[in-house]
Amino acid sequence: MQATLRPEQALQLLRQSGRAEPVGEPGSAAWLQELIDALVELSSRDALTGLANRRAFELSLAREIDRVARSGEPALLLALDIDHFKRVNDSWGHIAGDAVIKAVAAALIDSVRPMDLVARIGGEEFAIILPNCASAFGLAVAERVRRRVESMPVAVAQGQELQVTVSIGGAFAPQWVRSTPALWVERADQQLYRAKSAGRNVVLLEPSAVSVVSNEERRALFETFQNQDTE
């Protein structure tokens, strides 16, 4: 049996999240549509930071893969991890940990364009999708993000401040290739692991999207050309 969310339950969810309730006559078509829109927005946001959550990130990533395959325009995916985050929780408690996560989220938003999607995809893990980001500018963008976090003091208990850093790995979507979100994320994660192994507070990007196209992506590209030849 499919569960039904009643309007009063939906309103309670909005109140708990601190979001504004719909305006207008309760029960009217316009009021119900605004309520639905608010719930859709709520379901796509991380409760702690307000960033896109993993679900919204995965949907956006799939759309960007499709756009790159059709248009050939460049796109960069950054995978980020707060360095030594467990030490923050162990030394200062989870409230301080939440403060660090929220501060890093704000720094990421402040470092990129409005068109870029910043998401929290795990506890201390973030990702940024940057459409129309050419390889010539990728490193500068990622370094700007890293420096912005590094220079940001985070206030915690008893007036103390913490300095936190992030490790960043990045991968460009292969242009004109019908790749998959999983392959793109895997390549960005590989660079993130390398950055952490290199000492953390480091940015490492793939040297070129073309040089790291996987066998699976090459097969997809070959099949695309074959289909175009037969049309």
**Tell me, what amino acid is at 32?**
L
- DSSP letter for each residue of 96-115: HHHHHHHHHHHHHHHHS-TT
Residue scoring higher pLDDT (155 or 226)? 155
**What tens digit of pLDDT does each residue of 144-153 get?**
999 999 999 9
**Where residue 1 falls among pLDDT bands split at 50, 70, 90?**
very low
Helix (H, G, I), strand (E, B) or coil at 35: helix
pLDDT of residue 226: 53
Q: Is it true that domain 54-229 has CATH number 3.30.70.270?
A: yes
**What tens digit of pLDDT does each residue of 189-219 get?**
999 999 999 999 999 999 865 545 556 665 6
pTM of the model: 0.79
Q: Which residues are catalytic?
A: 124
pLDDT of residue 207: 80
pLDDT of residue 40: 61
**What tens digit of pLDDT does each residue of 101-125 get?**
999 999 999 999 999 999 999 999 9
Exposure of 120 by Cβ count < 10 A (0-12 exposed, 13-18 middle, 19+ buried)? buried
Lowest mean pLDDT: which of 95-99, 117-121, 171-175? 171-175
> By the 8 A CB rule, do 208 and 175 touch?
no
pLDDT of residue 5: 62
pLDDT at 62 over 80: yes
CA torsion sign for 8, 11, 17, 18 is negative
CB atoms near residue 76 (< 10 Å): 27
Q: Give the span between the Cα atoms of 6 and 9, in whole angstroms.
A: 5
Average pLDDT over residues 94-98: 94
